[in-house]
Chain A
Amino acid sequence: MERKKADEVWELRLYVAGQTPKSITAFANLKKICEEHLAGKYRIEVIDLLENPQLAKGDQILAIPTLVRKLPPPLKKIIGDLSNEERVLVGLNLRPASC
């Protein structure tokens, strides 16, 4: 039985390193994009690597900020402050690249 796409909850993780302007911008941008395209079916987890440095390894985080689309698969990583909405949508596979 195929799960309807509408039921999928997106698990998104935003990796930051403390409250920096880039991180604040990224979070704000992310919220905006999620409300617009994934209303009601997303969950954002913010991971501050300054508080939990050991978590950088698991998702192989090098750049800050990094947004990781954990669910639904495939895993995607988007780095930067997410100010380029188009690229974020492409990166999240919410919009095909050709558009």
Chain B
Amino acid sequence: MAPKKSSLKEPLVLEKAQTGIQGLDEVTMGGLPRGRTTLVCGGPGSGKTLLGMEFLVRGAVHYDEPGVFVCFEETINELLQNAAGLGFDLNELWQSKRIFIDHILIERSEIEETGEYDLEGLFIRLDQAIKSVGAKRIVLDTIESLFSGLSNFSILRAELRRLFRWLKEKGMTAVITGEKGADGLTRHGLEEYVSDCVIVLDHRVANQITTRRMRVLKYRGGMHGTNEYPFIIGSSGIEILPITSLGLQHSVSDERISSGIPSLDVMMGGKGYYRGSTILVSGTAGTGKTSIASKFADAACRRGKRCAFFAFEESAHQILRNMQSIGMHLQPWVEKGLLKFYTQRPTEYGLEYHLITMHRIVDEFRPDAVIMDPIGNLGDVGIIPDVKAMLTRLVDYLKSKSITSFLTSLTPPGASLERTEIGISSLADTWLVLRDMEKEGERNREIYVLKSRGMAHSNQIRELLLSDRGLELLGVKVELEGVRTGSAKASQEIADSRITDKNE
């Protein structure tokens, strides 16, 4: 091969083979390294075979790259069945010569080793398979089976090295799977031979809920996110939540949007929230968090914007009915397709499921605003630091899309009001706190703006009134020409004798 003229200006471009697997191409920034071998390792049931299969099937169906699947442990029928369960018709792909499936059986009891040998038979077999469909992709699941069948490990290792070189010469983008070892990534140290890309799949069951994580351990020559990514095995395959915590790079908007409650807007510099910011409303039970969230949704829809309402405690019907009783009619927005409710009890599925579902819905529905009510419930299904990490990523993602996020959080009874269950107050740009106050034998609601970045906001605690006319903060002057709070308000009161006293 003639040596290439090297130029310092030319970057080495590593070509990538798109996988078509939800989220994986984002995480790897384009796919798996083309013409190289990727090792996918993990424990039993972690999804290795599935990843390999999806890589192949989607390669054939979406990217016009035929592939070969070599299985060592599953029978072909088992493979076909598992694939069918995810909507992949392997039979059809086989008939149309886009996928070739080969089952290599190694019966240790049948084999006696009597001297020097090599694995040329395997090479010939693979060559046949590749030729039969003109394959560009190949999956070997799991090549470690060779170690169970043959006992001369030094021959095996030498031949494996030869195999990966051979695959590379043929320009094959290969995925090999390996079972997790006691020490080291795989039982037989496959990671020593695969230096191009290593993906680790983790699978744990905690409290009867399955938790899955994927990590790109190594990716030579290419950048990749170094985090752990939660994923699920959904009805059509693997879905990875691709967002990293790289965040903090998004541009911010100057635009202000109404909370839907004019007297609350007054408390925030007269204009309301920043578009694309994160708003947190916390408070003890029954203080009106969902109502404030709903008012925000109402205001957004009124402006023709789309709002996704993730409700983790109440049903859509309940919320609509409750809001109706305080004069809020959200039904028309639902009918217009501007307001969509997504209700799911968190405890039914793992945290990844919820986050991935939310992510997918955001991608499909493209809302301008997202409400999560309440986020505390997500803590029921995940370990708290996990929940916080994932919520952070999701909120970051929303911010990067200039989507305004509105989170409600239940303050546990007896806890300090300025404490949130998951400790995500740092995520919030605006933080409204609701509380109950007993006054003269009555239970009244109060609200104050604890913080609101980037704007002057009122420091007053106001009584929040919920009536069939809607929500209102008492003692806040709302006037057409402008708004006054604090000492300015006092001066206004003196000067203007026509002001209606709303305190009665």
Q: Would A82 and B110 count as touching, CB distance under 8 A?
A: no
Interface residues as binary, A14-51 with B (CB distance below 8 Å gives 1, 0 otherwise): 01010000100110000000000000000000000110
Q: Would B124 and A87 count as touching, CB distance under 8 A?
A: no
Given the interface pairs A76-B110, A82-B114, the reply to whether A63 lies near B150 with Cβ below 8 Å is yes
CB of A75 within 8 A of chain B? yes
Chain A residues within 8 Å of chain B by Cβ, number: 32
- A83 CA to B116 CA in the complex, in Å? 8
Distance in angstroms from A76 CB to nearest chain B CB is: 6
Interface residues of A in 42-99 (CB under 8 A from B): 49-50, 53-54, 56-57, 60-66, 75-84, 87-88, 90-91
| Cross-chain contact of A63 among B102, B117, B127, B128 (Cβ < 8 A) | B117
A-chain residues with CB within 8 Å of residue B118 when the two chains form the complex: 22, 63-64
Q: Would A53 and B112 count as touching, CB distance under 8 A?
A: no
Q: Would B113 and A79 count as touching, CB distance under 8 A?
A: yes
CB of B125 within 8 A of chain A? yes
B-chain residues with CB within 8 Å of residue A76 when the two chains form the complex: 110, 112
CB of B121 within 8 A of chain A? yes
Q: Would B127 and A53 count as touching, CB distance under 8 A?
A: yes
- A87 CA to B102 CA in the complex, in Å? 30
Distance in angstroms from A55 CB to nearest chain B CB is: 9
Distance in angstroms from A46 CB to nearest chain B CB is: 14
CB of B413 within 8 A of chain A? no
B-chain residues with CB within 8 Å of residue A78 when the two chains form the complex: 111-114
Please give me the residue from chain A that is nearest to B156 by CB atom.
A63
Q: Would A80 and B117 count as touching, CB distance under 8 A?
A: yes
- A90 CA to B112 CA in the complex, in Å? 8
B-chain residues with CB within 8 Å of residue A75 when the two chains form the complex: 110
Distance in angstroms from B130 CB to nearest chain A CB is: 11
CB of B106 within 8 A of chain A? yes
Distance in angstroms from A20 CB to nearest chain B CB is: 8
A-chain residues with CB within 8 Å of residue B150 when the two chains form the complex: 63, 79
Task: Decide if the interface of chain B is mainly helix, strand, loop or mixed.
Answer: mixed
Given the interface pairs A53-B127, A60-B105, A62-B104, the reply to whether A87 lies near B114 with Cβ below 8 Å is yes
Q: How large is the interface on B (under 10, 10 to 19, 20 to 34, 35 or more residues)?
A: 20 to 34
- A91 CA to B112 CA in the complex, in Å? 6
| Cross-chain contact of B110 among A56, A77, A83 (Cβ < 8 A) | A77
CB of B183 within 8 A of chain A? no
Please give me the residue from chain B that is nearest to A92 by CB atom.
B112
Distance in angstroms from A77 CB to nearest chain B CB is: 5
Distance in angstroms from B263 CB to nearest chain A CB is: 78
Number of A-B contacts (CB under 8 A): 94
A-chain residues with CB within 8 Å of residue B114 when the two chains form the complex: 78-84, 87-88, 91
Interface residues of B in 105-158 (CB under 8 A from A): 105-107, 110-122, 124-125, 127-128, 146, 150
- A63 CA to B121 CA in the complex, in Å? 5
- A49 CA to B121 CA in the complex, in Å? 8
Distance in angstroms from A81 CB to nearest chain B CB is: 4
Interface residues of B in 296-331 (CB under 8 A from A): none
B-chain residues with CB within 8 Å of residue A87 when the two chains form the complex: 112-114
B-chain residues with CB within 8 Å of residue A83 when the two chains form the complex: 114-116
Please give me the residue from chain B that is nearest to A84 by CB atom.
B114
Q: Would A88 and B112 count as touching, CB distance under 8 A?
A: yes
- A88 CA to B105 CA in the complex, in Å? 22
B-chain residues with CB within 8 Å of residue A61 when the two chains form the complex: 121, 125
Q: Would A82 and B125 count as touching, CB distance under 8 A?
A: no
- A84 CA to B128 CA in the complex, in Å? 31
Please give me the residue from chain A that is nearest to B127 by CB atom.
A53
A-chain residues with CB within 8 Å of residue B113 when the two chains form the complex: 78-80, 87
Q: Would B119 and A62 count as touching, CB distance under 8 A?
A: yes
Distance in angstroms from A28 CB to nearest chain B CB is: 12
Distance in angstroms from A45 CB to nearest chain B CB is: 16
Q: Would A79 and B127 count as touching, CB distance under 8 A?
A: no
Distance in angstroms from A67 CB to nearest chain B CB is: 8
- A62 CA to B120 CA in the complex, in Å? 7
B-chain residues with CB within 8 Å of residue A66 when the two chains form the complex: 117, 121
B-chain residues with CB within 8 Å of residue A63 when the two chains form the complex: 117-122, 150
Interface centre among A53, A56, A76, A88 (most CB of B within 10 A): A56
B-chain residues with CB within 8 Å of residue A77 when the two chains form the complex: 107, 110-112
Interface residues as binary, B81-112 with A (CB distance below 8 Å gives 1, 0 otherwise): 00000000000000000000010111100111
A-chain residues with CB within 8 Å of residue B102 when the two chains form the complex: 57
B-chain residues with CB within 8 Å of residue A80 when the two chains form the complex: 113-117
A-chain residues with CB within 8 Å of residue B121 when the two chains form the complex: 15, 17, 49, 56, 61-64, 66
- A20 CA to B128 CA in the complex, in Å? 21
Distance in angstroms from A97 CB to nearest chain B CB is: 10
Please give me the residue from chain B that is nearest to A78 by CB atom.
B112
22 sampled A-B residue pairs with Cβ under 8 A: A17-B120, A49-B120, A56-B125, A60-B104, A61-B125, A62-B106, A62-B121, A63-B119, A63-B120, A63-B150, A66-B117, A76-B112, A77-B111, A78-B112, A78-B113, A79-B150, A83-B115, A83-B116, A84-B114, A87-B112, A91-B112, A91-B114
Given contacts A80-B113, A82-B115, A88-B112, could you give 13 more A-B pairs where the C-beta distance is less than 8 Å?
A: A17-B121, A25-B115, A49-B124, A50-B124, A53-B125, A56-B125, A57-B125, A64-B120, A76-B112, A77-B107, A79-B114, A87-B114, A91-B114
Smallest CB-CB A-B distances: 6 pairs: A91-B112, A80-B115, A83-B115, A80-B114, A81-B115, A64-B120
**A residues within 8 Å of B by Cβ?**
15, 17, 22, 25-26, 49-50, 53-54, 56-57, 60-66, 75-84, 87-88, 90-91
